Amino acid sequence: MNKTVWAVCGVFIILIISTPLFAEEDKPGCKDHPMFTRMPNFYIENCKEKDFDQADFVSF
């Protein structure tokens, strides 16, 4: 049992240390809006720059 506990602890330590190696980066050309701060550990996967856009909303 003692070896199992050490093995599990070793796996957790390896996972914690290797997490930054898999960190994602923002898509090139994308940036945060100046009014908002980024949440920790999040990244921008996709963005579209538009001068003007519209959306249709369903009303009941």
Residue 8 lies in a domain: yes
Give the integer Cα–Cα distance in Å for 59 and 57: 6
Residue 53 lies in a domain: no
pTM: predicted TM-score of the whole model, two decimal places? 0.41
Domain count, the chain: 1
The tokens for 47 are: 């963005």
Q: Per-residue pLDDT for 35 more than 80?
A: yes
Residue 51 lies in a domain: no
Q: What is the mean pLDDT of the chain?
A: 83
Residue 26 lies in a domain: yes
Residue 57 lies in a domain: no
Residue 50 lies in a domain: no
Residue 13, helix vs strand vs coil: helix
Residue 41 lies in a domain: yes
Q: Per-residue pLDDT for 37 more than 70?
A: yes
| Residue-range definition of the domain harbouring residue 31 | 1-45
Residue 52 lies in a domain: no
